[in-house]
Structure 1
Amino acid sequence: MSAPFPTRDFTASGDPVTHLGARLLRRGEDGFDAAVAAAVWRMNKPARTPAAVVLAQDEADVVAAMRLTKAEGLQVGVRSGGHSWTSPHVRDGALLLDVSRLNNFSIDADTMSAWVQPGLKGRVLNEALGEQGLMFPGGHHNSVGLGGFLLAGGWGWNMRRWGNGAEQVLAARIVTPDGEVIEADANRNADWYWAVRGAGPGFFGAVVGYTLRIHRRPAHITRNVIVVGEDQLDAALTWLRAQAEHVPAHLEMFANAACFDENGECTPLKLSLVGISFGENDAETEQSAALFDICPVADQASVRLRAAPVTLGELYEMASEADPEGLRFACDNINTNAPASELVPAVRELFTTLPTPRSHIYWLNWGKPRQREDMALSMQSTVYIAVYTLWDDPAQDEAMTRWPVEQMRKLESLACGAQTNDENMARRPAAYFSEQARTRLEALRQRHDPQHRFVSFLERP
């Protein structure tokens, strides 16, 4: 049995405008602009203006907001953490429903489950779980809210062993387009349960609570790192690609490419080959380290760490330092199964022409794709590559937003799709689902939200 949803009656009644009061901000009212800006994590805000914002405090406010959209013929976009790179929740003339203040949670160690609200940050949950020796495969950054993270599939810590975050969803509490509250799990409202696990911006409801499966924290979390320069790029990436189908499940194996130092100053290209090992025992820790021992560029590394102990909190800080707050961001990504002979030459330009010091590239060895039909999350590949541009001058907005898209277009012949967490759907729509899942999602959206009250993808995927 999973942890139950709270039993408190959250039903909203009466006129929704009266119910919401000061939590409803119309365009032009005091506080409206600040509320819209706060709903987007990055500093380059989208040039889209909602008709109104609801700063929901509880489930009743979400119900009232949905009844308002129905009464006034508005579409609605939902924000939980606001970490989305393209901000599809902010739309011209729509209602921006901000559920970031819904951030309560409870943990049931007896049933190995937790009840969480969508505005809760994954790090906050993991800090609380850690006090009981538990863990959840939450997002890698401090600022990622669980709502959008889970809807996008949930690519987080130790997901290769435990599965994506969406796979940990045991139940979801959802407000429908008509303002009704339903609960969805494997036995109830199966269509909704299928879609809430991976539909991303295409989901047709507002989630107000999840019941999640949680796990015992691995006994040994360690880092293996090899840092080399551009001269070793081809050899390093060829080796990395060769390991992709064979990486043990407890090892998160990836590469980061960047050209900045700890002060953000420009440096020659640095390629970091990294393995985060979530070992259950000494043997698994050693297995991870031994894999890096055979890397052909290890003896040329400027930095070499072998099985260095690291805490989950330190991992959060390292990941968040790569994308510091207060900057402007753009990104794009591809999934690919291409062999090293094709992939490595094709990505050389990408890796060697980063346009700003803090721009960077992330290559993840996901391993053999796991084909599943029981949830919307359906796009996987052996290797995942994402590129991020970071800058602070507004005059660079167009060039920096365009650069990752142009780079990914050059790799489209090797791509089999993309993920919805680091996409640039506004400029380069891609296949975010298998064809079967895409067809089913569109059919369910038409069935459960025929008026298209919930906004969907910025472009059709």
Structure 2
Amino acid sequence: MTTHIDPGLRTAFAGEVLTPRDPGYDEARAIFNAMIDRRPAVIARCANTDDVARAIGFARERGLEVSVRGGGHGVAGKALVDGGLVVDLRLLNSVTIDPEARTARVGGGATMADLDRAAAEYGLATTGGRVSTTGVGGFVLGGGSGWLERKFGLACDNLVSVELVTADGTRVRASEEEDPELFWALHGGGGNFGVATSFTLRLHPLPAVSVALLLWPAEAGPEILTAYRDFMDSAPDDVGGGALFITAPPEEFVPEGMVGHRAFAFLLTYAGTGSRADEVIGPMTRLGHVGGVRTEMPYADLQCMLDDPPGYRNHWSAEHLRAFPDDAVARFCELSEDMVIPSPSQQVLFPEGGAVARGPEYPIPWRHDPWVVHPFGLWEDPADDARAVAWAHGLRDAMRPWRTGAVYLNFIGDEGTDRVREGLGEENLRRLTEVKRRHDPDNVFHNNQNIRPGVTA
């Protein structure tokens, strides 16, 4: 599709307007998931809120679908829309730290790396995505599960305020004092209500973290995973991490004979360093691992420790569990044999609990679930597409006997309206539709885990 760009749009635009004929267009439309190959008619790289409002208005006048791009890390590729207009926020990536108030003002296009590095200069941190390339905006608005959640709560629990441009171009600010109902909806409701151009987030003192990433042969998985489960059931809030099957990477801490083969690992994080960290996680470092690393590092370094290289094909899913008994352990380990090997895929079990379970009653029905299984598929060859997707769905379905019925929507792709309902909760969805009707009655912002105005659960 070719869309005529009114000269006035380019002239008044402080950022950059790209169409398929412009240099840089293909680079600008590339996102994290290489399975997604969409060709927008216009990519509006916004430099300020006026650009955002102008881009939305342009799209609506011409009947173009709208998508919003922050980090471009969502697995379903909703950041792009074929033949439509992309509101690209990546130029809005500034981060300003107030060390006395312990807050960060974060642009809507910033990544976790932008936020983590800026906060680290003051020995501060907040719950962030588990990889540094994640966009702050989509992460926070979807709830925000990360390494520090058991200590500091979900990312949205640390949200102080949000500034948005709505579907009619209005600038609004939401906080506990200003439009509290919209503010509530932004804790898990995603990008349904407007384009978030700025966030203020609460920070916490955290100069460094303790980390243990330990590996075993895959066949040791059931025994070590059981020990990990039992440890996390009573671990203090300072402890986070996850257990996972991976392809052992070519790193110094991996025995040569394991490289390229399926392996079991767990990552333990401790929000602090020193003797207390050794006392708490020390028993788990004495289980006979054959490779790994135990160290202390800045939190920002932990955040990029497991970054996956771009250019891979992706498919993810998730299932939240009410318990993880021995038969669930056995099924989890068995399904790891279906992973695409070698690849950067990860079959993960994340513990929740701690501050997550004690947090406010936002539209996050999975808050009280103790465990979540997350097949995180990455592979290179399109011939492996069907196999990789079947593995992800197979693992999710295998966990259904222990499922709670809730799901973290940032962990899944486009799995239908029933999963959106599970991600938000029946009662919450009724309330969210009213907020949606008020701020986006025409459902302009529907390229997301969509809440439709006027449609109740």
Bin for the TM-score computed over the shorter chain: 0.7 to 0.9
Residue number among 319, 327, 330 corresponding to 2:306 in the alignment:
319
Question: What residue is the counterpart of 2:34 in the other structure?
Answer: 43
The alignment status of 1:29 with 2:18, answered yes or no, reads no
- Tell me: CA distance 1:24–1:389, structure 2 relative to 1, closer, same or farther (3 Å): same
Residues 45-70 of structure 1, C-alpha deviation per residue, up to 9 Å, x if partnerless?
24x44342211111110011122233
- Tell me: CA distance 1:195–1:144, structure 2 relative to 1, closer, same or farther (3 Å): same
| Paired residues of 1:247 and 1:367 also in contact (CA < 8 A) | no
The residue identity in structure 2 corresponding to 1:205 is G
Question: What residue is the counterpart of 1:364 in the other structure?
Answer: 350
Question: What residue is the counterpart of 2:429 in the other structure?
Answer: 438
| Paired residues of 1:356 and 1:389 also in contact (CA < 8 A) | no
Aligned residues: 435
- Tell me: CA distance 1:187–1:107, structure 2 relative to 1, closer, same or farther (3 Å): same
- Tell me: CA distance 1:32–1:314, structure 2 relative to 1, closer, same or farther (3 Å): closer
Question: What residue is the counterpart of 1:7 in the other structure?
Answer: none
Distance of 1:19 and 1:328 partners within structure 2 = 37
The alignment status of 1:140 with 2:127, answered yes or no, reads no
Distance of 2:417 and 2:314 partners within structure 1 = 16
Residue number among 411, 415, 419 corresponding to 2:408 in the alignment:
419
| Paired residues of 2:104 and 2:203 also in contact (CA < 8 A) | yes
Q: CA deviation at 1:410?
A: 2.9
Distance of 1:439 and 1:413 partners within structure 2 = 28
Scaled by the length of structure 1, what TM-score is found?
0.85
Q: CA deviation at 1:99?
A: 0.5
Residue number among 335, 338, 344 corresponding to 2:329 in the alignment:
344
The alignment status of 1:375 with 2:365, answered yes or no, reads no
Residues 5-30 of structure 1, C-alpha deviation per residue, up to 9 Å, x if partnerless?
xxxxxxxxx9656533883344x433
The residue identity in structure 2 corresponding to 1:343 is A
SS of 1:223's partner is strand
The alignment status of 1:255 with 2:255, answered yes or no, reads no
Question: What residue is the counterpart of 1:9 in the other structure?
Answer: none
| Paired residues of 1:405 and 1:428 also in contact (CA < 8 A) | no
Residue number among 82, 89, 98 corresponding to 2:88 in the alignment:
98
Mean Cα deviation higher: 402-411 or 72-81: 402-411
Q: CA deviation at 1:235?
A: 1.8
The alignment status of 1:19 with 2:12, answered yes or no, reads yes
Q: CA deviation at 1:281?
A: 6.1
Question: What residue is the counterpart of 1:234 in the other structure?
Answer: 222
SS of 1:421's partner is helix
Distance of 2:128 and 2:437 partners within structure 1 = 31
The alignment status of 1:87 with 2:77, answered yes or no, reads yes
Distance of 2:314 and 2:66 partners within structure 1 = 24
- Tell me: CA distance 1:341–1:399, structure 2 relative to 1, closer, same or farther (3 Å): closer
The residue identity in structure 2 corresponding to 1:149 is F
- Tell me: CA distance 1:459–1:313, structure 2 relative to 1, closer, same or farther (3 Å): closer
| Paired residues of 1:242 and 1:340 also in contact (CA < 8 A) | no
| Paired residues of 1:244 and 1:366 also in contact (CA < 8 A) | no
- Tell me: CA distance 1:427–1:57, structure 2 relative to 1, closer, same or farther (3 Å): same
Mean Cα deviation higher: 220-229 or 177-186: 220-229
- Tell me: CA distance 1:179–1:43, structure 2 relative to 1, closer, same or farther (3 Å): same
- Tell me: CA distance 1:312–1:344, structure 2 relative to 1, closer, same or farther (3 Å): same
- Tell me: CA distance 1:192–1:222, structure 2 relative to 1, closer, same or farther (3 Å): same
Alpha-carbon RMSD across the aligned residues, in angstroms, is 2.8
The alignment status of 1:278 with 2:264, answered yes or no, reads no
| Paired residues of 1:426 and 1:458 also in contact (CA < 8 A) | no
Distance of 1:16 and 1:410 partners within structure 2 = 52
| Paired residues of 1:330 and 1:390 also in contact (CA < 8 A) | yes
Distance of 2:448 and 2:401 partners within structure 1 = 23
Residues 198-218 of structure 1, C-alpha deviation per residue, up to 9 Å, x if partnerless?
2125x2200011111111114
Question: What residue is the counterpart of 1:152 in the other structure?
Answer: 142
Residues 306-365 of structure 1, C-alpha deviation per residue, up to 9 Å, x if partnerless?
5x3233343234211xx2223222211111113313411221322222122122212111
Matched-pair identity in % = 23
| Paired residues of 2:218 and 2:245 also in contact (CA < 8 A) | no
Question: What residue is the counterpart of 1:4 in the other structure?
Answer: none
SS of 1:300's partner is coil
Q: CA deviation at 1:176?
A: 0.7
Question: What residue is the counterpart of 1:8 in the other structure?
Answer: none
Q: CA deviation at 1:82?
A: 0.6
Residue number among 193, 209, 215 corresponding to 2:198 in the alignment:
209
| Paired residues of 1:16 and 1:67 also in contact (CA < 8 A) | no
Distance of 1:20 and 1:156 partners within structure 2 = 36
SS of 1:97's partner is strand
Q: CA deviation at 1:420?
A: 1.9
Q: CA deviation at 1:442?
A: 2.5
Distance of 2:449 and 2:173 partners within structure 1 = 28
Q: CA deviation at 1:186?
A: 0.3
Q: CA deviation at 1:304?
A: 6.0
Q: CA deviation at 1:299?
A: 4.0
The residue identity in structure 1 corresponding to 2:436 is R
The residue identity in structure 1 corresponding to 2:333 is R
- Tell me: CA distance 1:245–1:441, structure 2 relative to 1, closer, same or farther (3 Å): farther
The residue identity in structure 2 corresponding to 1:79 is R
- Tell me: CA distance 1:427–1:324, structure 2 relative to 1, closer, same or farther (3 Å): farther
Q: CA deviation at 1:270?
A: 1.5
The residue identity in structure 1 corresponding to 2:199 is Y
Distance of 2:328 and 2:142 partners within structure 1 = 26
Q: CA deviation at 1:388?
A: 2.0
Map residues 186-205 of structure 1 onto 2, 5 A cutoff: 186-201=176-191, 203-205=192-194
Scaled by the length of structure 2, what TM-score is found?
0.86
Distance of 1:277 and 1:25 partners within structure 2 = 45
Distance of 2:15 and 2:48 partners within structure 1 = 14
| Paired residues of 1:330 and 1:401 also in contact (CA < 8 A) | yes
| Paired residues of 2:32 and 2:312 also in contact (CA < 8 A) | no
SS of 2:178's partner is coil
Distance of 2:181 and 2:448 partners within structure 1 = 19
Q: Which runs of 5+ in 1 are unaligned?
A: 1-13
The alignment status of 1:269 with 2:258, answered yes or no, reads no
Distance of 1:371 and 1:337 partners within structure 2 = 16
Q: CA deviation at 1:428?
A: 9.3
- Tell me: CA distance 1:74–1:372, structure 2 relative to 1, closer, same or farther (3 Å): farther
